[in-house]
């Protein structure tokens, strides 16, 4: 230690832990915020643009429908739409809330038939609240 820990005639024997606690708490907050974001599948998506917004629930289960036929529930990739109902039912059973919001994140180029099939599968899997994900495009 280069600087002598002396304050007047009394040596300073305690380390100041306040800054390290401060930084550690900020890191904890970052982890808490990023944890739900990491639960979304890593699929390249072009979400449809919209101006209206009404569903702001931080807790949700996501269904991702990629442009090349990728299907995922949260971050779990599925072999196809056929497996969606079972996977979603398992996911909803694991959560504590019964009316958990299910957000369908579908690529804008997909035909509506695929999205409708996914929404039907979601309802069959126990989803009571459904929402369609959009990319916010500002006010009109």
| Single residue of 15, 17, 35, 52 touching other proteins by CB under 8 A | 52
Sole window of 69-77, 85-93, 116-124 interacting with other proteins (rule: CB under 8 A): 116-124
40 with 74: CB under 8 angstroms? yes
Q: How far is CA 82 from the centre of its chain?
A: 23
| Single residue of 3, 17, 35, 68 touching other proteins by CB under 8 A | 3
Residue at token pair 């401060």: 22
| Single residue of 70, 86, 117, 126 touching other proteins by CB under 8 A | 117
Which residues, 59 to 98, sit near other proteins by CB under 8 A? none
Phi/psi of residue 25, nearest 5 degrees? -65, -40
CA quadruple 9, 10, 15, 19: dihedral, nearest 10: -60
| Single residue of 38, 42, 51, 69 touching other proteins by CB under 8 A | 51
């Amino acid at each position: 230690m280069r600087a002598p820990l002396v304050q007047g005639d009394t040596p300073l024997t305690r380390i100041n832990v306040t800054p390290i606690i401060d930084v550690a708490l900020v890191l904890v907050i970052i982890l808490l915020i990023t944890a739900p974001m990491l639960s979304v599948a890593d699929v390249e998506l072009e979400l449809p643009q919209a101006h209206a917004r009404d569903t702001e629930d931080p807790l949700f289960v996501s269904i991702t429908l990629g442009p090349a036929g990728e299907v995922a529930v949260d971050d779990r990739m599925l072999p196809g739409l056929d497996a969606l109902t079972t996977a979603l039912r398992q996911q909803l059973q694991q959560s504590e809330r019964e009316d958990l919001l299910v957000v369908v994140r579908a690529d804008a180029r997909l035909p509506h038939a695929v999205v409708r099939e996914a929404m039907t599968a979601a309802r069959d899997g126990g989803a009571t609240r459904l929402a369609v994900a959009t990319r916010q495009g500002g006010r009109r």
